[in-house]
Chains A and B, each alone.
Chain A
Amino acid sequence: MNNWVVLPIVMPIISGMIMVVFKNNIRLHRFLSLLTLGLIGIVSVLLLGQIETGGIQTLYLGGWQAPFGITLVADMFAVLLVLVGATVTFCCLCYAFSSIGNDRERHYFYALCLFLIAGVNGSFLTGDIFNLFVCFEVMLVASYVLISIGGTRIQLRESFKYILINMLSSTLFLVAIAYLYSLMGTLNLAHLSVRVADVGQGGVIAAVALLFLIVFSIKAGLFLFFWLPGSYGAAPTAIAAIFASLLTKVGIYAIIRLFSLVFYHEPAFTHLFIGVLAGVTMVLGAMGAVAYWDIKRIITYNVVVGIGFILAGFASFTLVGVRGSMYYLLHDMIIKALIILLGGTIIHLTGTGRLRDMSGLIRLYPQLGWMFFIAAFSLAGVPPLSGFPGKVFITAGTFEADYFWLGGIGLFTSLLVLYSIMKIFMSVFWGYTNLATDNEKGTAKGLLPSMAFLTVLTIALGLGVEGIHSYIDLAVEGVLNPQAYIGAVLGSGGY
């Protein structure tokens, strides 16, 4: 029992409600949202220390023992994601201060962001699959409003599709839960793991596992990503950055958690299937990124490639591959937020998203250009930056599992990603400056610090790999060895 575990979920809800009450005090909203995210960061750092020394931390809500009540479980994997998620959201909100506009701010933008964070943290920390569904819904309802807030034409058009696709996948989630409950008679993840291990992962359970995979694939954008480029492109920059760095990662987290803790008995079938989907996702995403000449499109297709790459490492299901997935997941949360913020800033400055209409920005905004350069190299996995360790480990993992085709696709799409991003860099920053200082569409003032912080973070994560190595290894151990999770939740007695 550890009451700290519930804080990352409760704190944003409480301060979000305070904001709803004091509707017109925008300064309070800004201060409170940053304070809450900072506190979540501090709590998760403390939890990291506790997990390192005392093992997985659990909390039985309402004092009900494990398989009967709802359990919150904080293992290394989940808490690392909570920490990085809070950090990234902190930067995105700083960016939003000077970009999101007064209208959206007054219509509960910050409160909605905090509700979104509550849902995301809840999904990371819960140990109960129905609770996972509820937290998903909390997150999604907040995201429905965030994507349509402001009500421009393109937003309304895309949010209709976004809501429809997510409502359908939520219904499928419910159906999968219903089947699982009728088969196993429990919804606690640890308890499910024990029972599935007892009866074996036969035909019906494998079918249910695939139903879950479909649900989470829609949410994560694994193969079923057709909704992603449109809806992420429609949202304002700061919101799109939060979505790309958090929402898809929650789906990935759910896939990794479920297929490492519960449905891990038939890796030759389920994990190979995930691997095939990941490979197809990477290829299609890279094709989209190469084909378009529009900043928003290129970047959102890069989000898709990242999703495939993370799950390629997990699909190999080897120690090295999963370790690579962990590194790359953390890296991807930071870099996708950064690259979307950078792309949004360029569009904000030039007033257009088309690459052919702009050039020579480096003369006017050298800092922006260099940050974009670093971000592009980090995205492609060039050594001193944070993308490198993840890429190496994932590739090694796929080779180790004899999935040479998967590692090959990963490396090849990395090249295409680098090409697509350098395409932006060269046409935007090189060449003659055709943007005179007096006809700029906006100013970069106030936008740079948050992006600079994320850039520093991606460099630091690359150089300081040794520092986080022990934490990552604990997370990998937790994913590959479900017994520790089960023991922490159900106690040594078991049921």
Chain B
Amino acid sequence: MSIVVGILFAIGTYLILSKIFLRIILGTSIIGHGANLLLLTMGGLKKGGPPLRDLQELSFTDALPQALLLTAIVINFATTALFLVLSYRAYKVLGTDDVGELRGYPDE
């Protein structure tokens, strides 16, 4: 799992360092998935029953990382969607999808 997280972070970093809007957004999304996976891994991958009081299991899984993960996925989803819409608008208005051309203009 840790190796997968590492690979995801590597790919994400590579994509973010590129110059095209869409690649950057995909990069943030992939890094986000890497972080989610890391959250799950760090919580400890345990075997056991669901943490409900009525079940007579001896070992329980830790429910907290999953709850955190769910929240993080929703947030990541929402921000990525917003980011995509914004970059599309920026592409239409600015007429470029190259980050290198996003520097300021001297007359502003």
Question: Taking the nearest CB of chain A, how far is it from the CB of B65, in angstroms?
Answer: 7
Report the separation of the CA atoms of residues A102 and B21 in the bound assembly, to the nearest whole angstrom. 31
Report the separation of the CA atoms of residues A345 and B68 in the bound assembly, to the nearest whole angstrom. 44
Q: Quick check: is B48 within 8 A (CB to CB) of the other chain?
A: no
Q: Which residues of A contact B72 (CB under 8 A)?
A: 133, 174
Q: Knowing A144-B79, A161-B102 touch, does A177 contact B28 (C-beta < 8 A)? A: no
Question: Chain B, 48-90, contact with A by CB distance < 8 Å: what is the 0/1 string?
Answer: 0000000000000000110010011001001100110011011
Q: Which residues of A contact B42 (CB under 8 A)?
A: 178-179, 181-182
Q: Knowing A163-B83, A167-B79 touch, does A130 contact B68 (C-beta < 8 A)? A: yes
Question: Chain B, 23-60, contact with A by CB distance < 8 Å: what is the 0/1 string?
Answer: 01000100110111011011110000000000000000
Q: Quick check: is A153 within 8 A (CB to CB) of the other chain?
A: yes
Q: Which residues in window 140-167 of A have CB below 8 A to B?
A: 140-141, 144-145, 148, 151, 153-154, 156-157, 159-161, 163-164, 167
Q: Are B38 and A144 in contact (CB under 8 A)?
A: no
Residue of B nearest to A134 (CB): B71
Q: Which residues of A contact B32 (CB under 8 A)?
A: 167, 171, 174
Q: Which residues of A contact B71 (CB under 8 A)?
A: 130, 134
Binding site secondary structure of chain B: helix
Q: Which residues of A contact B93 (CB under 8 A)?
A: 151, 153, 156
Q: Are A156 and B28 in contact (CB under 8 A)?
A: no
Interface residue total, chain B, C-beta cutoff 8 A:
35
Report the separation of the CA atoms of residues A148 and B43 in the bound assembly, to the nearest whole angstrom. 37
Q: Quick check: is A137 within 8 A (CB to CB) of the other chain?
A: yes
Report the separation of the CA atoms of residues A237 and B93 in the bound assembly, to the nearest whole angstrom. 22
Q: Are A182 and B43 in contact (CB under 8 A)?
A: yes
Residue of B nearest to A296 (CB): B108
Q: Which residues of A contact B86 (CB under 8 A)?
A: 144, 148, 156, 159-160, 163
Q: Are B75 and A137 in contact (CB under 8 A)?
A: yes
Q: Are B28 and A178 in contact (CB under 8 A)?
A: no
Q: Are B82 and A141 in contact (CB under 8 A)?
A: yes
Report the separation of the CA atoms of residues A140 and B36 in the bound assembly, to the nearest whole angstrom. 19
Q: Are A157 and B94 in contact (CB under 8 A)?
A: yes
Question: Taking the nearest CB of chain A, how far is it from the CB of B101, in angstroms?
Answer: 9
Q: Quick check: is A18 within 8 A (CB to CB) of the other chain?
A: no
Q: Are A178 and B31 in contact (CB under 8 A)?
A: no
Q: Which residues of B contact A177 (CB under 8 A)?
A: 39, 68
Q: Are B38 and A178 in contact (CB under 8 A)?
A: yes
Q: Which residues of A contact B65 (CB under 8 A)?
A: 181
Q: Which residues of B contact A179 (CB under 8 A)?
A: 42
Q: Knowing A137-B79, A177-B39 touch, does A153 contact B94 (C-beta < 8 A)? A: yes
Q: Are B75 and A156 in contact (CB under 8 A)?
A: no
Report the separation of the CA atoms of residues A153 and B79 in the bound assembly, to the nearest whole angstrom. 21
Q: Which residues of A contact B39 (CB under 8 A)?
A: 174, 177-178, 181
Report the separation of the CA atoms of residues A179 and B5 in the bound assembly, to the nearest whole angstrom. 13
Q: Quick check: is A463 within 8 A (CB to CB) of the other chain?
A: no
A160: contacting residue among B21, B35, B41, CB under 8 A = B21
Q: Which residues in window 210-226 of A have CB below 8 A to B?
A: none
Question: Chain B, 1-33, contact with A by CB distance < 8 Å: what is the 0/1 string?
Answer: 000000000000000100001001000100110
Question: Taking the nearest CB of chain A, how far is it from the CB of B103, in angstroms?
Answer: 9
Q: Quick check: is B104 within 8 A (CB to CB) of the other chain?
A: yes
Q: Which residues of A contact B36 (CB under 8 A)?
A: 174
Among B32, B65, B89, B90, chain A packs the most CB atoms within 10 A around the CB of B90
Q: Which residues of B contact A144 (CB under 8 A)?
A: 79, 82-83, 86
Q: Quick check: is A230 within 8 A (CB to CB) of the other chain?
A: yes
Q: Which residues of A contact B89 (CB under 8 A)?
A: 148, 151, 156
Q: Which residues of B contact A130 (CB under 8 A)?
A: 68, 71
Q: Quick check: is A291 within 8 A (CB to CB) of the other chain?
A: no
Question: Taking the nearest CB of chain B, how far is it from the CB of A237, in angstroms?
Answer: 16
Q: Are A141 and B78 in contact (CB under 8 A)?
A: yes
Report the separation of the CA atoms of residues A151 and B87 in the bound assembly, to the nearest whole angstrom. 11
Q: Which residues of B contact A163 (CB under 8 A)?
A: 79, 82-83, 86
Q: Knowing A134-B75, A157-B90, A174-B72 touch, does A164 contact B82 (C-beta < 8 A)? A: no
Report the separation of the CA atoms of residues A153 and B21 in the bound assembly, to the nearest whole angstrom. 16
Q: Are B75 and A171 in contact (CB under 8 A)?
A: no
A145: contacting residue among B34, B82, B87, B94, CB under 8 A = B82
Among A141, A154, A164, A179, chain B packs the most CB atoms within 10 A around the CB of A164
Q: Quick check: is A1 within 8 A (CB to CB) of the other chain?
A: no
Q: Are B94 and A174 in contact (CB under 8 A)?
A: no
Q: Quick check: is A415 within 8 A (CB to CB) of the other chain?
A: no
15 A-B pairs with CB atoms under 8 Å apart are A130-B68, A137-B75, A144-B79, A144-B83, A144-B86, A157-B90, A157-B94, A157-B104, A160-B86, A163-B82, A168-B16, A178-B43, A181-B43, A181-B68, A182-B42
Q: Apart from A154-B108, A157-B104, A177-B68, what 13 extra A-B contacts exist at CB < 8 Å?
A: A130-B68, A134-B75, A140-B79, A144-B82, A154-B104, A156-B90, A159-B86, A160-B21, A160-B87, A161-B102, A164-B16, A174-B72, A178-B43
> Interface on A for B, CB 8 Å cutoff?
130, 133-134, 137, 140-141, 144-145, 148, 151, 153-154, 156-157, 159-161, 163-164, 167-168, 170-171, 174-175, 177-179, 181-182, 187, 230
